[in-house]
Amino acid sequence: MDTALPNSTLDAALAEARERYAAANPASLAAHQDALASMPGGNTRSVLFHTPYPLAMARGQGCRLWDVDGHGYVDLLGEYTAGLYGHSHPVIRAALDAALDRGWNLGAHGTAEGRLARLIVERFPGIDLVRFTNSGTEANLMAVATAVAVTGRPRVLVFDGGYHGGILYFGGGGIPINAPHQWVLGQYNDADGAVALARAHAGQLACILVEPMLGSGGCIPGERGFLQALRDVATETGALLIFDEVMTSRMSAGGQQARLGITPDLTTLGKYIGGGMSFGAFGGRHDIMDRYDPRRADALPHAGTFNNNVLTMAAGVAGLTEVFTADAADALFARGEALRTRLDALSPAMQWIGIGSLMTAHFHSRLGRGTVRSPADIAGADPGLRELFHLDMLERGFYLARRGMVALSLEVGTAELDGFAAAVAEFLDSRARLLADPR
């Protein structure tokens, strides 16, 4: 690709990038137009849509994807962290094949769910007992509902920019379709403010729900002092502390809670732990989770046809025992830290924020470079620069989230990381004038 691209205005550069994209991807356009007839916007998963229309992928292998127009990409999206094992990992594939050979939709207890549960309990300090769901959204809904039921209190402290699932999103304060709990909204990484809110609502506060790193909110790390303050005030007020580790569970064998040494009352999981199959889980202290023991006369009910589906259980066990070991988790974390440091040093016009193998690019042409501690710190960034970066990376053969998020899989190697760093450097060079003055 010629790096001497026009740099007149951001609008002009975007128009040109969209035209090149459309010219290169006619089969994806056809797929999109076909889907428009039966789905609103041709879409059933909002996060995957991007302008001028989304790519349609045909297949994946290892750390690479190919779209319906035949273009190949290094997959740096990693299925928004669910694709930890890459595509068609042989260990996961063998486990799925064996499970299929034994039949599925059995409608009964099996042995694999017990094995997967033991692996999770052994890994995460905050989980004594665990139950499975079908997604991280469902896991968070169950965790919050559990806290409300156990404490007998109605209110839930959450944080601006937090994403806990499709109906648990608090970017910009929340969305109209959020689950109808009594939400109390705090500011991320504001320990004093959060403590004050928890104390003000103490008699009615069931739980504090927080991501140890804002994932969809820009990969903004939770400061240890902030998360410890939440732990302390939850204990003080009798509220339950819920760590949403749907994304951050990959930061070590025991998640971010193990890295920080902060133990929540409940933990929610999802994404890769089911080996890339549909998965969610909520678990925590024995006395809380024991309320779901069906042998109890006062047991809380929890159903779900596919909670223990044989494919997820088999893939999850294989992944945690044979692939994503503690050593593999540590190596992936270090590889991500090294990549983010490398990318962040390329230019003051682009800042890379995250933890370990998860990171997001932020543009600070209007904000000035500095520490990003909350969504308010990135609110003034120009969305046009994010779109231009996304389209330029696609043209260079790198597939990442439209918002600039990267989630490394275990399959991404040194050659792919070197290539991505070079592509980012080319982008920064070719778009230097726009990054300095987008308009």
- Known catalytic membership, residue 163: yes
Beta bridge partners of 209: 242
> Given pLDDT bands bounded at 50, 70 and 90, which one contains residue 364?
confident
pLDDT value, residue 370 = 66
351-355 LR contacts (CB < 8 Å, sep 24+): 353/218, 353/219, 353/220, 353/221, 354/213, 354/219, 354/221, 354/406, 355/213, 355/219, 355/221, 355/248, 355/251, 355/256
| Residue of 75, 160, 244, 265 marked catalytic | 244
Give me the chain's average pLDDT, please: 95
Q: What is the mean pLDDT of residues 382-410?
A: 96
pTM equals 0.96
Whether residue 349 contacts residue 437, with contact meaning beta carbons closer than 8 Å, is answered with no
Model confidence at 371: pLDDT above 90: no
pLDDT tens digit sequence for 268-294: 999 999 999 999 999 999 999 999 999
Task: Residue 359: name the closest of 412, 315, 316, 321 by CA.
Answer: 412
Residue 413: CB atoms within 10 A of its CB come to 12
Torsion of CA 262, 216, 351, 213, to 10 degrees: 0
pLDDT category of residue 1 using cuts at 50, 70 and 90 = very low
Query: What is the reported pLDDT for 6?
Result: 53
CB atoms within 10 A of CB 345: 10
Average pLDDT on 158-168 reads 97
CATH code for the domain defined by 90-323: 3.40.640.10
CATH class belonging to 326-436: alpha beta
Domains of the chain by residue range:
90-323, 326-436
In sequence order, the 6+-apart residues with CB closer than 8 A to the CB of 259 are: 251, 252
> What pLDDT does residue 366 have?
46
Q: Which of 163, 169, 188, 272 is catalytic?
A: 163
C-alpha–C-alpha distance, residues 244 and 125, integer Å: 14
Among the options 265, 271, 377, 399, which is catalytic?
271
Check if 244 is active-site: yes
Query: Cα-Cα-Cα-Cα dihedral of 152, 279, 75, 214, to 10°?
Result: 10
Percentage of the residues of the chain whose pLDDT score is greater than 70? 97
405/3: higher pLDDT: 405
Instruction: Judge whether 21 counts as a catalytic residue.
Output: no
pLDDT at residue 437, as a whole number = 78
Euclidean distance between CA atoms 285 and 263, whole angstroms: 10
